[in-house]
Amino acid sequence: MAAKKSTTKATPKKASASISISSPSKNEMRKWEIESAMNTLRRADEIRKDSKMMNDVKKFAQDQIKMLGGIANPKK
């Protein structure tokens, strides 16, 4: 015998008191994005000037390419 579906209705929830937190304005968000981009560019410049780090990054990138190449072009 098949089970019967429940026909109970969901009871509406009462509105509760909440704290209103305003979201940042578009200008504030844009300012944050600009600051973040500037920090990223500064960090990239620091990394480029660090020859040991760049050599390690290049080696890591080559390893990633090999690994991803195997995924993209699996041998049959």
6 lies in a domain? Answer: no
Q: Is residue 13 a part of any domain in this protein?
A: no
Contact residues for 48 (Cβ-Cβ < 8 A; gap 6+)? 54
Question: Domain containing 31: what range?
Answer: 27-72
Q: Is residue 59 part of a domain?
A: yes
Query: Pick from 37, 36, 58: which is nearest to 47 by CA?
Result: 58
Q: Is residue 10 part of a domain?
A: no
pLDDT in tens, 42-57: 999 999 999 999 999 9
pLDDT digits (tens, 9 = 90+) for 11-31: 656 666 667 667 889 999 999
pTM: 0.51
Does any domain span residue 32? yes
Q: Based on the structure, what is the number of domains in the chain?
A: 1
The answer to whether position 31 is within a domain reads yes
Residue 50 domain flag: yes
Question: Per the domain annotation, does 5 fall within a domain?
Answer: no
